[in-house]
Amino acid sequence: MSGFFKSSIGRKVAMALSAFFLMFFLVMHVSINLLSVVSPDSFNEASHFMGTNLLVQFIMQPVLIFGVVFHFIMGFVLEIKNKKALGVSYAKNNGAANSTWMSRNMVLSGVVILAFLGLHFYDFWVHEITIKYVGGDMTGLIDPDNLDSGYRYYEELKEKFISPVRVAIYVVAFILLGLHLAHGFTSAFQSLGITAGRKKTLQSIGKAYSIIIPLGFIFIALYHHFNH
């Protein structure tokens, strides 16, 4: 297995598989968050299920965190290996003529997205983990203004998007995510060698995905900002 990760092909395949996993997670994440626009009660119920289900908490959540860390570390490793392989010729290469700006700056966008994930984890995940596992008080999940039936997830989501500065950070981060996905989507399929004869189709699907998913998150942030 260690030999697999040492090879260029092995690293690219691992990178692609982690990308597919994270792209699937993004679909689930934006779908649940869109419930906050359609039905606050449904959003609360879905969030509570995801936040208390043992399978999600102790298997899927650790796998997700590992997937995020692995994807970004592998991205940095591939970038370093690629630059070393190109050597001196890299400096002479006219990158703008041979590739898009995004393909040349995947690491840069990745660093910004990773920094944003730190903020996102701080906003939602750390607070919840503190309530459930540090404080050990599950009643902290209940909305104090709606003790009979309401969980606090919806109100906390709305509160986070009151600040125009935080909303601006989220919007910029999701725009960069869209640019990252626009290149990464097709690249992931290409790394697995399954683009033959369907590259244009995959590029079209990738463009749609890289627009719809970030736009969904941006819409959620703007909606709650202007309707708090």
pLDDT of residue 193: 83
Percentage of residues of the chain with pLDDT beyond 70: 81
**pLDDT confidence bin for 136, thresholds 50/70/90:** low
Q: List Cβ neighbours of 155 (8 Å cut-off, separation of 6 or more).
A: 143, 145
Backbone angles phi, psi at 131, to 5 degrees: -65, -45
CB 90 within 8 A of CB 96: no
pLDDT of residue 77: 84
Q: Indicate the CATH number for domain 2-92+99-226.
A: 1.20.1300.10
More confident call, 100 vs 74: 74
List C-alpha distances in Å: 20 to 27, 68, 116, 151, 192.
11, 11, 20, 32, 11
Average pLDDT, stretch 168-186? 92
Q: Which of 177, 178, 162 is nearest to 221 (CA)?
A: 162
Inform me whether the pLDDT recorded for 39 exceeds 90: yes
Average pLDDT, stretch 143-157? 69
**pLDDT confidence bin for 31, thresholds 50/70/90:** very high
Which of 83-87, 102-106, 122-126, 133-137 comes out lowest in average pLDDT?
133-137
**pLDDT confidence bin for 174, thresholds 50/70/90:** very high
Which one-letter amino acid corresponds to residue 123?
Answer: D
Cβ neighbour number for residue 86 with a 10 Å cutoff: 12
Q: Quick: pLDDT tens for 65-89.
A: 999 999 988 888 888 887 777 664 4
pLDDT of residue 2: 55
Q: Quick: pLDDT tens for 179-225.
A: 999 888 988 888 888 877 788 898 899 999 999 999 999 999 999 99
- The whole-angstrom distance between residue 4's C-alpha and the CA centroid of its chain comes to 26
Inform me whether the pLDDT recorded for 98 exceeds 60: no
Average pLDDT, stretch 172-177? 93
pTM score > 0.85 for this model? no
List C-alpha distances in Å: 191 to 18, 42, 156, 194, 203.
12, 39, 40, 8, 14
Distance CA 39, CA 93 (A): 53
Q: Highest mean pLDDT range out of 121-125, 138-142, 192-196?
A: 121-125
**pLDDT confidence bin for 91, thresholds 50/70/90:** very low
